[in-house]
Structure 1
Amino acid sequence: MSSNYDLKEDIRDYWSQRSKSFDRAFGHKIEKGLEAEAWAQPMRDHLGETPKRVLELACGTGEVTRLVHDLGHDVTALDFSEDMLAVARLKHAGKDRLRFLLADAAQTMEPADSYDAILCRHLVWTLVEPEVAFADWFRILRPGGRILIYDGDWAKPQASGRWAARLLALWDKISPDEYYDGPISERHATIMERLPFGEGLTFERLAPMLEAAGFNSIKRLPHDPIAQAQRRTCGLRNNLRTRVYSRFILVAEKPSV
């Protein structure tokens, strides 16, 4: 088996290549309007209206960055792909209350007790050493700080989504989608099989790990409003994609004392 370092380099290279088409792939670009509102609502509900110092992990091209920044928070957007950050910086050029940081989301090197909130989208399933990452996130959060995670089980279709997965597989054979993982989708699979969450990430598996790291008040929030908003504006192919995998949102706190 390859070392953790080699796997991280593979992951970095994969996402760097995807930076060129990332915003054209369904599920990554966040459309303004109903979809953006659905993604932002958990931030409103659980980060609060008072401006916070927020760390966004694995910011990618800055889609979630836009949402949390527009809510009035001071945002540090972190990613370990220079190519992803280049796209994000260009997209958000000239904005105040926003800095971009080239760093590893699992070992941020940020000061202890320095952020009021941490959020990430579709990051946790890629972690090579999740326990190390969770300990670091707990360390850099201030007492009473919150973590907000958007993620899902990308390893296999949920039971109710198997029919959609079969239809999509047939559709992709007839007419491949050049932006949906494109020619490096096989590489995606080889990376996933080497990850701790390669067999699937679920709320039920993640919650005890965060509790072991010190977090409490762990709750599952519904992801359905996001999928429903996406279906209002997307075509049939992407409508099917919203039905394949089980997705969830998790919020947790660092104890105040």
Structure 2
Amino acid sequence: MSNTERLANYDLRAEIKAYWSERAATFDQSPGHEIFSEEERAAWHQLFLRHLGPGNGRAALDLASGTGVISHLMDDLGFRVTGMDWAEPMMERAQSKAKIRKRSISFRLGDAENTMEPDNAYDVIVNRHLVWTLVDPKAAFAEWLRVLRPGGTLLIIDGDFVSSTPLERLLSKLAVFGTRLGILKSDAVQASAAMMDTHRSILSRVYFSQGARAEAVADLLRQSGFDTVTIDTDLARVHRAQAKHWNLFKGLARGIQHRYAISATKAG
């Protein structure tokens, strides 16, 4: 990699960190981020149990943990959870939330692409909506494989937030139009034009700038040394629970997006 490429990657990663630092203040107000119902909590639990089984005190690393939403779900299931995020405002909110809820989750500042964790340290690694932001996913996957114990499982929850079907685009336009007319419920958090521009700019420069399709992510996991890579697109129960907190058209659009969970193991 040339010095120019390294500088470009550094600048992009710095922008990503700054973006999520700014988003921290309102992150938990948005459906799809925090858990807004017991129905949704149960749906997430079911997904984790399907791929990971019960915690039973096993060590789990939640990468790009944000305000700790996934960490708390894993803690519910009996995992011994460490949450890691590189945005200090996110980490501060995660630590405060865990203290209020009296959870024994360890949160620490760290880089998901270079964790600085020991070899073979965790039974489970999980992340949500991290992979689409990665500058070098193959290097990140190799890092996660190193940190995972033999026989351990990686669970990725992500989606393609770039390419969309004509039906999805139509539903999204109807959602925006109905909101502007005041006949449909608006989002709890309205992103500023500047934040939306920043998001689009970041998305255009990450590795998966054309969309993080499940098969492409799965192929990179196999190339990085993971075994038994399984794609699960059955997230309907989670999406149905979340949709109740959006307007009709936005809920329908979310339900048909290309979203998925991918589990992969490290050879024992």
TM-score (norm 2): 0.89
Does the CA contact (< 8 Å) of 2:85 and 2:91 recur in 1?
yes
Give 1:218's aligned residue.
229
Give 2:143's aligned residue.
136
Residues 116-160 of structure 1 show CA distances to partners (whole Å, capped at 9, x for unaligned) of 000000000000111110000000000000011110000132344
Residues 181-201 of structure 1 show CA distances to partners (whole Å, capped at 9, x for unaligned) of 334111100111011111100
Does the CA contact (< 8 Å) of 1:73 and 1:97 recur in 2?
no
Amino acid at match of 2:64: A
Matched, 1:229 2:241: yes
Does the CA contact (< 8 Å) of 1:59 and 1:120 recur in 2?
yes
The structural deviation recorded for 1:55 is 0.1
Amino acid at match of 1:239: G
Give 1:16's aligned residue.
21
Provide the secondary structure at the position in 2 that maps to 1:243.
helix
What percent identity do the matched residue pairs reach? 37
Match of 2:154 among 129, 133, 147: 147
The structural deviation recorded for 1:20 is 0.7
Matched, 1:48 2:53: yes
Q: How does 1:1-257 map to 2 (within 5 A)?
A: 3-49=8-54, 50-93=56-99, 95=102, 97-171=104-178, 177=187, 179-183=189-193, 184-221=195-232, 222-232=234-244, 234-236=246-248, 238-243=250-255, 245-256=257-268
Change (3 A) 1:97 1:47: farther
User: In structure 2, how many angstroms separate the alpha carbons of the residues matched to 1:243 and 1:156?
Assistant: 15
Residues 64-122 of structure 1 show CA distances to partners (whole Å, capped at 9, x for unaligned) of 11110111110000000000011111111164541111011011010000000000000
Does the CA contact (< 8 Å) of 1:26 and 1:180 recur in 2?
no
Does the CA contact (< 8 Å) of 2:155 and 2:262 recur in 1?
yes
Does the CA contact (< 8 Å) of 1:161 and 1:243 recur in 2?
no
User: In structure 2, how many angstroms separate the alpha carbons of the residues matched to 1:4 and 1:172?
Assistant: 37
TM-score (norm 1): 0.92
User: In structure 2, how many angstroms separate the alpha carbons of the residues matched to 1:55 and 1:8?
Assistant: 21
Does the CA contact (< 8 Å) of 1:51 and 1:72 recur in 2?
yes
Does the CA contact (< 8 Å) of 2:236 and 2:255 recur in 1?
no
Change (3 A) 1:178 1:187: farther
> What's the RMSD between the two structures over aligned residues?
2.0
Amino acid at match of 2:238: I
Change (3 A) 1:4 1:173: farther
Higher mean C-alpha displacement, 122-131 vs 179-188:
179-188
Does the CA contact (< 8 Å) of 1:158 and 1:246 recur in 2?
no
Aligned length in residues: 256
User: In structure 2, how many angstroms separate the alpha carbons of the residues matched to 1:174 and 1:87?
Assistant: 35
Residues 162-195 of structure 1 show CA distances to partners (whole Å, capped at 9, x for unaligned) of 2212213434655674714334111100111011
